[in-house]
Amino acid sequence: MTQASNSSSKPSYAPTMTLAMAQQRAQLMSTVRQFFATHQVLEVQTPLLSQAGNTDTFLQSVAAQVTYQDKPCTYYLHTSPEFAMKRLLASWQVPIYQICSVFRDNEIGVRHNIEFTMLEWYQPNYSLDDMAAELSELLAALYGHSVVMSHYRYVDAFMDFVGIHPLTASLDALQAVAEDKGLTGFDFNSDLDNTEDGEADIRQSWLDLLFSHAVEPNLGHDLPTLIIEYPPATAALAKTAVDKEGNTVAKRFELYINGIEIANAYDELADGQALRERFERDNQLRKRHNLPQMPIDEHLLAASDALIPCSGIAVGIDRLLMVITGANSLEDVISFPSGLA
């Protein structure tokens, strides 16, 4: 019997993940929990539902209509446990981690699903270098051997694979190079409102488009690769620094393996007023793009002012299992993708 006929003969209730893969997934989860137990990091659980949503223009929250105290209201399934975990961190000031489902509307594809599993952890008084070292230790535990990671500046990766400086190129130049690479049908420049924030948002739209199509596929094939020193507009919740060329950059890194984004880490910004201004600007941008404006998490803003110096990281468990096992699709490492849920 051919593979195609085997696939077509599967009952409609069957999972897309094999039993063997489910066993590998269970072992990965067990190893992660053992790793954090050994490192004395407390496992926590926070609500999936929140009164506040994610204001990021490129992340759409899943809304849920609920009845609270006999009154109908809208809650949101979290896109990350970050906001609630920072409230715990500000209160307890101890290392914490969580493994949970997160939800991002309309994200479907070989590497995307509306619901997916995230590992997130926070370490008080850790620098980004400390967090990268701990991430390397976790990867070594999961792979069963030591893991060496390369470091690659965002600017250098962009120059190597796009051929233009991302922080100094004009908006017209960014549009031209996008069109040269076949990325047509985009006209972010038409949204320009002649404000500094407006230009920064449009620049970041071009950079995100070019990075995802021209840079990401080339990353992490020889060694797991940390992209460092991102543009500040990519990381609203991260501190900033000045790079060796005098440009302001975000204190953030992302891990790529085999061209797939696996993890995202910040040196966390503890400034409630700065976050409020960023969230309000996000909502203005959402309004301009006819997206719903999201309620701002006032609890997070209050907690941010009490947050001790720390770094945090989010890891996509499903994608990590993909690269460890050599799976070709997210469907191979989860039981029921959104289309079958």
Q: Encode pLDDT of 226-241 as tens digits.
A: 999 998 888 878 899 9
| pTM (predicted TM-score) | 0.91
* Bridge-based pairing state of the strands 248-257 and 260-267: antiparallel
Nearest to 135 by CA among 118, 121, 156: 121
What is the tens place of the pLDDT at every residue in 187-198?
Answer: 776 665 655 566
The helices-and-strands tally (H runs, E runs) of the chain is: 10, 12
Structure tokens at 150: 């390369």
Query: Average pLDDT, stretch 250-276?
Result: 95
Q: What is the pLDDT of residue 2?
A: 44
User: Could you tell me the pLDDT band of residue 3, with boundaries at 50, 70 and 90?
Assistant: very low
Please compute Rg for the chain using Cα positions. Answer: 21
Confidence of residue 184 (pLDDT cuts 50, 70, 90): confident
3-state helix, strand, coil in the chain (%, to 5): 40, 25, 35
Least confident of 46-50, 193-197, 222-226: 193-197
Whether the predicted pLDDT of 277 surpasses 70:
yes
Strands 225-230 and 150-153: parallel
- Please report the beta strands in 69-215, taking only residues with DSSP state E, as ranges in sequence order: 71-77, 96-103, 115-124, 150-153
**Coil, helix or strand at residue 314:** strand
pLDDT higher than threshold 70 for residue 73: yes
Residue 89 has pLDDT above 90, yes or no: yes
Query: Three-state DSSP class for 150?
Result: strand
Mean pLDDT value across residues 7-21: 89
Residue partners of 219: CB distance under 8 A and separation at least 6: 152, 157, 225, 227, 256, 259
Average pLDDT, the chain: 92
Residue 5 has pLDDT above 50, yes or no: no
Q: What mean pLDDT comes out for the span 132-147?
A: 97
Look at residue 167 in the predicted model and tell me its pLDDT. Answer: 87
Q: Is the pLDDT assigned to residue 31 strictly greater than 80?
A: yes
Say if CB 312 and CB 83 are below 8 A apart: no
Average pLDDT over residues 6-33: 91
Q: Which of 22-36, 131-145, 240-254, 311-325 is least confident?
A: 240-254
- Whether residue 101 has pLDDT greater than 90: yes
- The more confidently predicted of residues 79 and 203 is 79
Residue 273: pLDDT over 90: yes
Residues whose CB falls within 8 Å of the CB of residue 92, separated by 6 or more in sequence, listed in order: 42
CATH 3.30.930.10 is right for the domain spanning 3-149+223-340: yes
- Contacts of residue 228, defined as CB under 8 A and 6 or more positions apart, other chains included, come to 128, 151, 152, 153, 154, 252, 253
Question: Residue 160 — pLDDT band, cuts 50, 70, 90?
Answer: very high
Instruction: Report the pLDDT averaged over residues 144-163.
Output: 96
- Rounded distance between C-alpha atoms, residue 74 and residue 4, angstroms: 44
Helix axes 171-180, 196-210, angle to 10 degrees: 20
pLDDT attached to residue 201 = 77
pLDDT of amino acid 191 = 60
Q: Which whole number is the average pLDDT over 8-31?
A: 94
Percent of the chain exceeding pLDDT 90 equals 78
